[in-house]
Amino acid sequence: MSQETLSIAGFNVSPHHYIGGQRVASGELFDLHCPIDQSLLGRISEGTPAHVDAAILAAQAAYPAWSALTAAERKPYLDRFAAEIGKRADAFCQLESNDAGILLSRMKHGVIPRAMLNITWFAEHALSLQDRPLETEQATHIVRHDPAGVVVIITPWNSPLMLATWKLGPALAAGNTVIIKPPEWAPLTSSLLADCAHAAGLPAGVLNIVQGSGAGTGARLVSDPRLARISFTGSVPTAKWIAQAAGANLVPCSLELGGKSPFIVLEDADIDNAAATGALMYRNAGQVCLAGTRFLVHSDIRDHFVAAMRAYVEKLNIGDPRDIAVEIGPIIHPRQVERVKGFVERALADGAELLWGGKPHPFGAQYFEPTMLTNLRQDSEIVQNEVFGPVLTLQTFDSDAQAIAMANGTDYGLGGVCYGETAHATAIAEQVRTGFIWVNSFGIRDLAAPFGGIKRSGIGREGGDWSFEFFCDVKDVVLPKKPFRASFSHR
């Protein structure tokens, strides 16, 4: 049996599951290492079939009472939940920096405020969804958003806290009970979320955390017919398996699967601004699904842009993410480091030209230099497939039509960036086939707006009403405006 708590950077966190309001240990354990220096952070409880069954039973048992509450009655619980996250802000920051390598600066100024907002915003928005009337000539339609049941949320390792709360907020606000399967490589902040839920007084079984591998714990969860919904963020191969398993039970899935997003720089762009934004694509060591990783630059400004972006990249501070001044930290796991290296090596062997970077960084074993490759064919592996590391590609174009064709020339369609004179860039952006695209900007997000991709980048949308459309059973209660009498006449 592992220890009851782990102590990391002066903060305690449980390595065990959270099921039915209680910590539950497992005899099966897995090691958790720090990506910064590969030190052992602790041994984590692995979810067995018994743990999965217990979590589903606990969520089922809690569902009748939780779902029977109105959105207004659930809201105080969720507001307290968000407040508990705020009280533990320092612990969340240190835990996620240590187990996922996330920048401490990003945690403090971006992730913690967003995680709290993910809970409170959806709790508030749920109030506006109650019994929406829709008037037609024949009837009044009362459109209800009813809770669906037991929801499984599977989160990735590149932003565990933010993405867990992004799904958890609307799932709980809608009246569902939830089981989170956190990433095996970064489970600690999900465990701390359980403490927040407990302190906030969420009834036992409303939120459950079952840790473990995707192939073990995750597979057992998603194949269970007792589920009402599965929400997953991660890789395409895993999503295909989840969809197949869920399909056998007709369980609806929401799948956010990353991308290979274009970063288009038109000939009339503000080159310096575009270059500065381009350097941001290396944040989180390039482990950001919505980053623009394929730079498509007009040939007339190519040299100017490359020089400007190189200057910004050379200023990036690489090192320990727990240092508030650091801008690029480690890659999450040795397997991911090998994946990134393999992409670069194969591209160079295939004739790619290295503009900068291209090799491991001396700071540590899981660090890789910010890299830019060019002289690439549109059908080359590194242009077509997601690397998920600090590796970008640069291609040039000579016309708008060529830029659009190249932007749309992959099987992905999550996001994009387009820099240029506003009307020109907007016209291009409207023809790029993605779920969203930023014009002369990057990273602007609003919880009321839809988020999600097309093609291999996913199925479904999250945010605003779209989250509730997924996490709810939408019902139409029809009230006729005139007395109705049954008629058996044939037409």
State the CATH architecture for 6-257+457-477. Answer: 3-Layer(aba) Sandwich (3.40)
Query: Do residues 81 and 69 touch, judged by C-beta distance below 8 A?
Result: no
Phi, psi of 257 (to 5 degrees): -120, 20
| Dihedral (Cα; 352, 355, 356, 360), 10-degree rounding | 0
Residue 2 has what pLDDT? 39
- Strand stretches in 161-234, DSSP E: 177-181, 207-209, 229-233
Q: Is the pLDDT of residue 298 over 80?
A: yes
Residue in 256, 327, 369, 386 annotated catalytic: 256
Class at the top of the CATH hierarchy for domain 261-439: alpha beta
Distance between CA atoms of residues 295 and 392, nearest Å: 7
- Residue 26 class from Cβ within 10 Å (0-12 exposed, 13-18 middle, 19+ buried)? buried
Q: CB atoms < 10 A from the CB of 69, how many? A: 14
Q: Would you place residue 394 in the very low, low, confident or very high pLDDT band (cuts 50, 70, 90)? A: very high
Q: How far apart are the first and last CA of the chain?
A: 73
Helix H or strand E segment including 81:
helix 71-87
Residue 490 has what pLDDT? 59
- Tens of pLDDT, residue by residue over 246-259, are 999 999 999 999 89
Q: Is the pLDDT of residue 420 over 90?
A: yes
Active site residue 196: no
Q: Give the pair of three-digit tokens for residue 292.
A: 């623009």
Mean pLDDT within 432-442: 98
Angle between helix axes 71-87 and 89-100 (nearest 10 degrees) is 70
Instruction: Report CA 266 to chain centroid distance, whole Å.
Output: 29
| Dihedral (Cα; 278, 279, 283, 286), 10-degree rounding | 70
Query: Do residues 26 and 47 touch, judged by C-beta distance below 8 A?
Result: yes
Q: Is the pLDDT of residue 489 over 80?
A: no
Question: Which of 434, 438, 435, 442 has the alpha carbon at shortest distance from 425?
Answer: 438
- Tens of pLDDT, residue by residue over 303-339, are 999 999 999 999 999 999 999 999 999 999 999 999 9
- Tens of pLDDT, residue by residue over 120-140, are 999 999 999 877 889 999 999
Domain boundaries in the chain? Answer: 6-257+457-477, 261-439
Residue in 289, 369, 418, 472 annotated catalytic: 289
Mean pLDDT within 81-97: 98
- What contacts 313, CB < 8 A, 6 or more positions away? 279, 282, 356, 370, 372
Q: CB atoms < 10 A from the CB of 241, how many? A: 16
Residue 491 has what pLDDT? 53
In what order do the strands lie in the sheet containing 391-397?
353-356, 371-374, 391-397, 292-298, 261-265, 417-419, 438-439
**Torsion region of 440: left, alpha or beta (phi above 0 gives left; psi -120 to 50 gives alpha):** left
- Tens of pLDDT, residue by residue over 59-74, are 999 999 999 999 999 9
Query: Do residues 360 and 341 touch, judged by C-beta distance below 8 A?
Result: yes
Helix H or strand E segment including 40:
strand 40-45
- Tens of pLDDT, residue by residue over 201-246, are 999 999 999 999 999 999 999 999 999 999 999 999 999 999 999 9
When the pLDDT of each residue in the chain is averaged and rounded to a whole number, the result is 96
Q: Is the pLDDT of residue 384 over 70?
A: yes
Residue 1 has what pLDDT? 31
Q: Give the pair of three-digit tokens for residue 22.
A: 């209680």
Residue 131 has what pLDDT? 76
Query: Do residues 248 and 168 touch, judged by C-beta distance below 8 A?
Result: no
The identity of residue 280, as a single letter, is: L
In what order do the strands lie in the sheet containing 177-181?
22-24, 17-19, 207-209, 177-181, 150-154, 229-233, 253-256, 458-459
The identity of residue 298, as a single letter, is: H
- Tens of pLDDT, residue by residue over 143-174, are 999 999 999 999 999 999 999 999 999 999 99
Query: Do residues 97 and 107 touch, judged by C-beta distance below 8 A?
Result: yes
Q: Which stretches of 223-263 are DSSP H helices? A: 236-247
Distance between CA atoms of residues 325 and 316, nearest Å: 10
Distance between CA atoms of residues 246 and 84, nearest Å: 34
Active site residue 256: yes
pTM listed for this prediction: 0.96
Query: Do residues 296 and 345 touch, judged by C-beta distance below 8 A?
Result: no
